[in-house]
Structure 1
Amino acid sequence: MEQEHSHRTVESVWDYPRPPRVEPTSEHVQVFLGGQLVADTTAAVRVLETSHPPVYYIPLEDFAPDSLIPASGSTWCEFKGQAAYFDVIGGDVRADRAAWTYPDPVPGYGPLASRAAVYPGRMDRCTVDGEEVQAQEGDFYGGWITGRVTGPFKGAPGTGGW
């Protein structure tokens, strides 16, 4: 169910695959925290999974120096493997465990090893090609909602079984 939106195709998250697909994007992705630009790239990848808005993974080298601090704990994704977390620092703000990476992802997800994703709702703001991102609902998923995607999206109360 693709539609046109501002000269680009609008994607339904229900057309995304499961297991998820990793797709390079040349979109201009920026992340702001504590009044500072903490990440700036045109070399992100999007992870596209049924019912979820895309998650943008930014090359580690495109984060500002000292903005990612390794944090304790990990989680397991049935598709991508074991995730490691970072605190994100921008200006005088520290967002605990607000970014994650897959340092040794399962086959098919190799591009994620050199990239990190952030929870957009825990940053001052995130933008894709200048458009401010809305965060996916819930406190577990890190999807980025833009005018490029339509839902309904997993994450809101009552959607856990989707």
Structure 2
Amino acid sequence: MAERVAAYPRPPLLLPCTQQVRVEALGRVLCDTHRSLRVLETFHPPVFYLCPEDVDLSLLEPVAGGSFCEWKGVASYFDLVATNESGQERRLRRALWCYASPTPAFAPLAGWLACYPALMDGCWVDGERVIPQPGGFYGGWITSAVEGPFKGDPLHPELR
């Protein structure tokens, strides 16, 4: 039975996850792990945070600026950068973020990385390809394990 995102809590819940999570971007495997953290927030599909030990950090370049979450604190962002076979640099701007010093309630997130599935070549949970959360701003991962409506969906303007 699918989790109903309408039943997710506010403030959000942070849960460890041992499902296989795979992220590919710029023709590379960014992460393939059984260690992630899921953030569950009302009307949002889960956001998966990846253990930094399982991420190819050589592809990340810190960028200026940040954002603030009332629950988790200040986020910093990273570009994803890779060079292709022709020697050309490819870049996904502000494709990942993390909380270096999250609020006490989200302390386990410190240094873990989240990505925008819409910018990646693909994201998978236990082999199922993820559908990015609509809206362009959100980093939720939609799978058959979750049931909407989802914040950001143009068919549900009341959730914007």
* TM norm structure 2: 0.91
Does the C-alpha gap of structure 1 residues 72 and 134 become closer, same or farther in structure 2, counting only changes over 3 Å? Answer: same
Question: What CA RMSD, in Å, does the superposition of the two structures yield over aligned residues?
Answer: 1.4
Q: State the alpha-carbon separation in 2 of the partners of residues 119 and 71 from structure 1.
A: 16
- Per the TM alignment, residue 139 of structure 1 is displaced from its structure 2 partner at its CA by 1.7
Matched, 1:98 2:95: yes
1:120 to 110, 117, 121: 117
Q: Show structure 1 runs of 4+ deviating over 6 A.
A: none
Structure 1 spans left out of the alignment, 5+ residues? 4-9
Q: Write out aligned runs for 1:147-158 (5 A).
A: 147-157=144-154
Question: In structure 1, what is the equivalent of residue 23 of structure 2?
Answer: 31
Letter of the 1:123 counterpart: M
Letter of the 1:23 counterpart: L
Letter of the 1:141 counterpart: Y
Question: In structure 1, what is the equivalent of residue 87 of structure 2?
Answer: none
Structure 2 spans left out of the alignment, 5+ residues? 85-89
1:134 to 120, 124, 131: 131
**Deviation sequence 1:71-95 (CA, Å, 0-9, x none):** 1110000111000001113453321
Letter of the 1:98 counterpart: A
Q: Write out aligned runs for 1:5-154 (5 A).
A: 10-90=2-82, 92=84, 93-154=90-151
**Number of residue pairs matched by the alignment:** 154
- Per the TM alignment, residue 52 of structure 1 is displaced from its structure 2 partner at its CA by 0.2
* TM norm structure 1: 0.90
